Amino acid sequence: MAVTVSVYEKNGLCRGPAIGNATFRAVSTILVIYDIPLTATAGGPLSGSTNVYTVAAPPGLTEWDLRVAAPGHNPWVFFVRDTETHEVWLTRQ
């Protein structure tokens, strides 16, 4: 059970350079509060891309809020379901 996430830097209204050092967490502040670090492997199904990650689902969840972060960038939180594919553009701090 996993989601696939491509991570890029936002460059104005365009997709910027790839980000190869992203981190991922399952987060929630509603009802049950949690902040779980997730395991991610670079490469994903689009082999050869270091900015494409396969992120393991948190134990027992098939949908959750995913926080994507990278050094020097503002994190982004969004809702995901198991097996989905997403592309994220992070803005510089």
CATH number at residue 26: 2.60.40
Q: pLDDT by residue (tens digit) across 49-58?
A: 678 999 999 9
Distance between first and last Cα of the chain: 32
Other C-beta atoms within 10 Å of 58: how many?
A: 19
Interval 53-85: pLDDT, tens: 999 999 988 999 999 999 999 999 999 999 999
Establish if 89 belongs to a structural domain: no
What is the DSSP-derived secondary structure letter of residue 73?
Answer: B
Domain range for 71 is: 2-84
pLDDT in tens, 37-51: 999 887 655 555 678
Domain assignment present for 76: yes
- The verdict on residue 93 lying in a domain is no
**Number of domains within the chain:** 1
